[in-house]
Structure 1
Amino acid sequence: MRADAARNRDRLLSAASEVFAERGLDAPLEEIARRATVSIGTLYNHFPTRESLCDAIFPARMAVLDAAAQSALADPDAWSGFASFTEALFALHAEDRGLNDALAQRVPLSPTLLEACHRCFGYVEQLIDRARSAGSLRHDFAVSDFAALIWAMSQVIRETTAVAPQAWRRTLGFFLDGVRADAAHPVPEPPLTPAQLAAVLTGPRR
């Protein structure tokens, strides 16, 4: 790649990171090109689709989540590991609207991003199993319940971040207290089955 082409690509990646973080994954590509000070044609020369641009940006961000999960799984206190990962996950949501969109699957995702989201749920399943086995997380809490939390918290973050950037922490605090084993009360509705959850995660988004 020529030096000028490499510089354009780097500018596009930097601009896309900023714009997606500010406006979400459906942000106009024209705004990314404008901020990178290149033409929209140059953007498409480097990244023919929106998905290819997202795939160039998000692996590094998802690596941060991978590291948080590994740290949480290494925590000898299973509840602390579960709670710290949950907080780290939503801190990333709050910092980056594009990541919020990706993890909540608010927009159609590429196979690369879908794989990263599925990997995230694999970590969640391990953390849930550890905390339930330790007796600190209520026994009926399932991975699908965590998925529902992501959908709910992503919206809380979107609605409050402009006026109270840390308000989501209060909501999360209530949630974490509510799923402790020592505070559990029976819930009348069962969790989504794996098939139901898969249908939600892979179905069309509204």
Structure 2
Amino acid sequence: MPASSNLRADARRNVELIRAAAVEVFRERGLSAPLEDVASAARVSKATIFNRFGGRLGLIDSVIDAVVAAELLSTIDDARSIGGIGMRVRAYVRALRDLQYSLPAVNDVLLQEFPESEPLMALCRAGDAFHAELVTEGHAAGILAPGMTAGDFQALAMDNATALKHGRFRPSREEYDRRTGFVLGGICRSPNSDAQ
């Protein structure tokens, strides 16, 4: 995509309209939402999206920070700031599952729906690294279930993403939060781990 400063005023306006529309549509419906919906919201043609961004991948790369990266990275940073590893694990799992329920694009990231997107894959790598930290510290403190791995954290998040994105029935928030408790009950060895 040419630098915005090199574009005519009307072309710059179209780029900004497309970005704003993409943020809105992708946040509401996920990164797989039809580009026709983005074009309609921006009041441009789908061809304009391809002309300015090269297609879906370029558009995703252009708006991923505003759509999903800030929330995912903030979830990791917020969890890192919590003192006890038991509380850190519980807060992170709850926060991540909350994001998965409320922000569909999170599930696209976790499922690596667009592996050609470097910003998307960078988010996956950040999550993987944090899961490894949690597992190392959690086992050292004796609060994680024996055998729990960083890959298990990722698999649990991906299983949940698959169910939310492709499942026939979306659970109520009450049912979903209750099941989060079951997930945590399986990950953490005892309720007393909150204190650690």
* TM-score for the superposition, normalised by structure 2: 0.82
The 4+ residue runs of structure 1 with deviation greater than 3 A are 106-109, 158-163
- Cα distance, 1:171–1:163 mapped onto 2, change above 3 Å: closer
Match of 1:129 among 127, 136, 142: 136
Distance 1:92 1:161, change over 3 A: farther
Which residue does 2:123 correspond to in 1? 116
1:1-206 equivalences under 5 Å are 1=5, 2-60=8-66, 61-158=68-165, 159=167, 164-182=172-190
- Richer in helix (by share): 2
Aligned CA RMSD, in angstroms, stands at: 2.2
- Higher RCO, Cα 8 Å, sep 6+: 2
Deviates most, 58-67 or 37-46? 58-67
Any conservation in 1 of the 2:132–2:150 contact (CA below 8 Å)? Answer: yes
The alpha-carbon distance between structure 1 residues 165 and 157, as it changes in their structure 2 partners (threshold 3 A), is: farther
Deviation at 1:33, TM superposition (A): 0.5
How many Å separate the matches in 1 of 2:151 and 2:48? Answer: 42
**% identity of equivalent residues:** 31
Residue pair 2:57, 2:114 contacting (<8 A) in 1 also: no
CA shift for structure 1 position 117: 0.8
Structure-1-length-normalised TM-score: 0.78
Letter of the structure 2 residue corresponding to residue 36 of structure 1: A
Asked if 2 retains the 8 angstrom alpha-carbon contact of 1:15 and 1:32, the reply is yes
